[in-house]
Amino acid sequence: MKRLLVIILLGAALWSGYWYVAARGARTGFEAWFEARRAEGWKADYTGLEIRGFPNRVDSTFDMPVLADPETGLAWQARFFQILALSYKPGHIIAVWSNSQSFSTPSAKYDIASENMRASIILAPKAKLPLKRANLVAEAMAITTNDSITTFDGVQLAISRREEAPQEYRLAVNVDGLMPPLPPGITLQTGGTLPRQLDALRADLSVEFSRPWDLQALEESRPQPTQIKLKLAEAKWGGLELAMAGTLRIDDAGRPTGRMTIKARNWRDIIVLARQFGWLPESWLGHVEQALSLAAQLSGNATTLDLPLDFKDGEMALGPIPLGPGPLIRLR
């Protein structure tokens, strides 16, 4: 019995020492990372760092963290941020965000309120800790910018890296209860009254990047997409349905080449919404509506359209309709 007690006490002492070393290593690593960012000209601060979780976890809580990259103009801050790790499984972490945070770009600032926003992240045991897979969920979210508010009842995002192609990631996104901001004076009337929330908004796609996502993506520069394979993206809003699928190759300048096929049900009402919400330039809308009317007549289906959205030589066209310069797909 005494021998068993000695073994238990020795094991507890060894585990306590292991946890202390892991906790000390976490603190030292985080402090060094923030110091390295400041040396590069970032604003990288927090008011406090607490390490807890003994005996089975190493939980790091940052109070009032702020990160701002002067090169890209991107910035983020929150009331707190937590990184929770099992002490015996260091490659698996849980990230927990505070209920309020803000994200800024050179063109806008987004104030984000959320409930239970957290992510489960699996990292490969390599020097730069490349991402293997991650799942992010939030029970509710409201994003405010320029006095407009977009709300969601729930958000789910899943990312997984293909083992045979470590630069390719599959992404699945599902948004519940999206309520877009209404322009002033707009009533949701098209062919019939629309509900205030979208019925569905989801996407399933694979994206190949110039290199894997790892610590370098945050510390130095973002990997750039080189190919997008969109299996399906769809939105349903009352009687309106819009779906898209296709493949795009993206060159070093961010110009896409390829085709997306768009299916639109009750497309005339979608045009009405596009005009109300300012989704398309006013100069395009008349030409688009005329061309789509012709396409509907030729197809024999007045309410549903299947059209190719083509990208080539920096230009894009919707079926027979030239739309002008295509978007540049670049991550800052």
Query: Using 50, 70 and 90 to split pLDDT, how confident is the model at 187?
Result: low
Q: Could you tell me the two tokens for 103?
A: 């994200």
Cβ neighbours of 147 (radius 10 Å): 6
2: Cβ contacts below 8 Å, ≥ 6 apart:
none
In eight-state DSSP terms, residue 193 is: B
Query: Using 50, 70 and 90 to split pLDDT, how confident is the model at 125?
Result: confident
What pLDDT does 9 receive?
A: 44
What pLDDT does 40 receive?
A: 92
The type of residue at 265 is: R
What would the mean pLDDT of 247-254 be, rounded to a whole number? Answer: 96
What pLDDT does 19 receive?
A: 61
In eight-state DSSP terms, residue 5 is: H
Q: Are 178 and 198 in contact (CB under 8 A)?
A: yes
What pLDDT does 326 receive?
A: 86
| pLDDT per residue as tens digits for the range 202-234 | 999 999 999 999 988 888 889 999 999 999 999
Q: pLDDT: is 161 or 292 the higher one? A: 161
Tell me the C-alpha distance between 18 and 54, whole Å: 10
The type of residue at 272 is: V
What pLDDT does 11 receive?
A: 45
What values do phi and psi take at 274, rounded to 5? -60, -35
Of the candidate ranges 257-271, 272-286, 299-313, the one whose mean pLDDT is the lowest: 272-286
Tell me the C-alpha distance between 195 and 184, whole Å: 17
Tell me the C-alpha distance between 223 and 218, whole Å: 10
Tell me the C-alpha distance between 311 and 31, whole Å: 46
Average confidence score pLDDT of the chain: 86
What would the mean pLDDT of 90-115 be, rounded to a whole number? Answer: 93
Query: Using 50, 70 and 90 to split pLDDT, how confident is the model at 12?
Result: very low
What would the mean pLDDT of 119-141 be, rounded to a whole number? Answer: 91
Query: Using 50, 70 and 90 to split pLDDT, how confident is the model at 1?
Result: low
The type of residue at 308 is: P
Tell me the C-alpha distance between 45 and 42, whole Å: 9
Cβ neighbours of 322 (radius 10 Å): 12
What would the mean pLDDT of 296-313 be, rounded to a whole number? Answer: 82
Crossing angle of helices 267-277 and 282-299, in 10° steps, is 180
| pLDDT per residue as tens digits for the range 32-65 | 999 999 999 999 999 999 999 877 788 999 999 9
Query: Using 50, 70 and 90 to split pLDDT, how confident is the model at 15?
Result: very low
Q: Are 42 and 65 in contact (CB under 8 A)?
A: no
